[in-house]
Amino acid sequence: MWRFGKWSVSRMQRALWFLLDLRKDAMTPPRRLMNVGSNSFTRSDFHAIGRTQMGFLVEVGGLQRDDAVLDVGCGVGRMAIQLTSYLSARGAYRGFDVVRQSVDHCRRAITPRFPSFQFDHVDIQNSSYNPRGTVAPQDFRFPYADASFSFVFLTSVFTHMQWPEVERYIAEIRRVLVQGGRVFATYFLINPESESGIRGGSARYSFAYPGERSRVELADDPDAAVAFDETSVLALYAKSGMDIVSTRYGFWSGRQADKGFQDIVVAVKR
């Protein structure tokens, strides 16, 4: 830990967060709960990243104002906050996450202001975010009825899961979608171009350790960052009764890309 006199960097950061949080609006989470942001010291781009991702949901995913939306891995409400000013009165939102503190914040800060925005905590095990979770992700059933949603999205969720878990989630997504409903999901996809970026050193990750139809970045924390074979991912959608309508590649692999860091797959339920 770097030290400046009696102050460590972590203490300086906590002090800065305290001062910055004095000026935050009611729905914005405290910075200690944020785990998204390219500026890891101040986390000042929390809303900017949300606005950018919101644009992808609309432009690439085809999100409509009247959609009934499910946010898988809602975190501290980064996307929910953006959706409060986008969804119409006929729209609806549900989100779930494995981190109880994140869900508690959303319930306190967002739901009282927007009652159609509801949040659920699910105690799913994950080596990075919920290592003591009691529910195996490959056995998890979404707590919603069949055909409850017209739009489901996952941002940086499958990048922290293993293949059997992704198979389960895709099946559950199809179950809760209405016919013609869409799913927007981000991935790290392994294909010839991303392989080239990894070999050439332009990719942000090496994904050096093999997994089932996947590669992981850290052998001792396999859920920290996971990349999947693209052919296997596309075949899974087809097998599950969903058709791919759009695939966009992010710049994680060294590509020139204008649709974000991670790769995007959009599919529609047959």
Contact assessment for residue 156 and residue 230, using Cβ atoms and an 8 Å cutoff: no
Total length of the chain: 270
pTM: 0.87
**All residues at 6 or more sequence positions from 107 whose CB lies less than 8 Å from its CB, including other chains:** 119
The CATH label, of 3.30.465.10, 3.40.50.150, 3.20.20.70, 3.40.50.10860, for the domain at 46-269 is 3.40.50.150
Interatomic CA distance for residues 141 and 165, integer angstroms: 11
Taking 50 as the pLDDT cut, the residues of the chain under it are 1-7, 9, 37-38
Instruction: Write down the domain spans for the chain.
Output: 46-269
State the pLDDT at residue 51. Answer: 94
Residue recorded with tokens 């009611």 = 26
Structure confidence by residue, pLDDT tens digits, 86-142: 999 999 999 999 999 999 999 999 999 999 999 999 999 988 788 899 999 999 999
Interatomic CA distance for residues 1 and 7, integer angstroms: 10
Contact assessment for residue 173 and residue 237, using Cβ atoms and an 8 Å cutoff: no
